[in-house]
Amino acid sequence: MTILGIESSCDECAAAVVVDGRQILSNIVATQIPFHEIYDGVVPEIASRKHTEWISEVVSEALDKAGLHPSHIDGVAVTAKPGLLGSLLVGLNFAKAFAWSLNIPFIGTDHMLSHLYAPRLSGEVPDYPFLGLLVSGGHTIICKVDDFDQVSVLGTTIDDAVGEAFDKVSKHYGFGYPGGAYIDKLAVSGNAGAFAFPLPNLHKGEHRYDVSYSGLKTAVINQLDQFRRRDGDGNLFDASPANIAASFQKTAVDILLRALLHAVEDTGLTTIVAGGGVAANSYLRSCLAGRKDLRCIFPPLDLCGDNGAMTAGLGYQYLARGETSPMSLTASARVSMFKRRYP
Residues 151 and 144: beta-carbon distance below 8 Å:
yes
DSSP 293: T
- Residue of 54, 166, 175, 316 that binds ligand KG4 (CB under 6 A): 166
Shortest CB 330 distance to Zn ion, Å: 20
Give the torsion sign (CA, 56, 59, 65, 70).
Answer: negative
Q: Which stretch binds ligand KG4 (CB under 6 A): 64-72, 87-95, 275-283, 308-316?
A: 275-283
Q: Work out whether 210 is an interface residue with ligand KG4 (CB under 6 A).
A: no
- Pairing type for strands 2-7 and 12-19 reads antiparallel
Residue 306 binds to Zn ion (criterion: CB under 5 A): yes
296 Cβ partners below 8 Å, 6+ apart?
A: 271, 272, 274, 288, 289
Is 86 among the residues that bind ligand KG4 (CB under 6 A)?
no
For 214, the 3-state DSSP assignment is helix
* Buried b / exposed e along 221-247 (16+ C-beta atoms within 10 A): eeebeeebeeeeeeeebeeebbbbbbb
Interaction with ligand KG4 in 145-164: which residues (CB under 6 A)? 163
87-95, 102-110, 224-232, 276-284 -> range binding ligand KG4 (CB under 6 A)? 276-284
Q: How many residues bind Zn ion (CB under 5 A)?
A: 2
Choosing among Zn ion, ligand KG4, none, which partner's interface includes residue 241 (Cβ < 5 to 8 Å by kind)? none
Interaction with Zn ion in 134-193: which residues (CB under 5 A)? 136
Which option in Zn ion, ligand KG4, none does residue 5 bind, with CB closer than 5 to 8 A by kind? none
* Residue 70, preceding peptide bond in cis (omega within 30° of 0): no
Sites for ligand KG4 among residues 282-341 (CB under 6 A): 305-306
d(CA 251, CA 75) in angstroms, rounded, equals 43
Between 215 and 305, CB nearer to ligand KG4: 305
Q: Among 29-37, 119-127, 136-144, 222-230, which window interacts with ligand KG4 (CB under 6 A)?
A: 136-144
Distance CA 26, CA 24 (A): 6
Instruction: Check binding of 82 to ligand KG4 (CB under 6 A).
Output: no
Q: Among residues 183, 26, 1, 6, which one has the least CA distance to residue 96?
A: 6
- Answer with the entry of ligand KG4, Zn ion, none that 155 interacts with (C-beta below 5 to 8 A by kind): none
Among 21, 91, 119, 138, binds ligand KG4 (CB under 6 A): 138
The DSSP call for residue 199 is: P
Decide if 305 contacts 115 (C-beta within 8 A).
no
The alpha carbon of 225 is separated from its chain's Cα centroid by a whole number of angstroms, namely 32
Of the candidate spans 175-183, 193-201, 206-214, 322-330, the one that interacts with ligand KG4 by CB under 6 A turns out to be 175-183
**324 φ, ψ to 5°?**
-135, 170
277 lines the binding site for ligand KG4 (CB under 6 A): yes
Residue in 278, 312, 319, 331 binding ligand KG4, rule: CB under 6 A: 278
- CA quadruple 129, 312, 302, 137: dihedral, nearest 10: -70
Question: Looking at beta carbons only, is 180 or 308 nearer to ligand KG4?
Answer: 180
- 179 contributes a contact to ligand KG4 by CB under 6 A: yes
Partner from ligand KG4, Zn ion, none binding residue 59, C-beta < 5-8 Å depending on class: none
Q: Is 1 exposed, middle or buried (0-12, 13-18, 19+ CB in 10 A)?
A: middle
* Residue 190 sits in the site that holds ligand KG4 (CB under 6 A): no
Cβ closest to Zn ion, residue 87 vs residue 247: 87
Pick one of ligand KG4, Zn ion, none as the site partner of residue 105 (Cβ within 5 to 8 A by kind).
none
Contacting residues toward ligand KG4, per CB under 6 A:
10, 136-138, 163, 166-167, 178-181, 184, 276-278, 280-281, 305-306
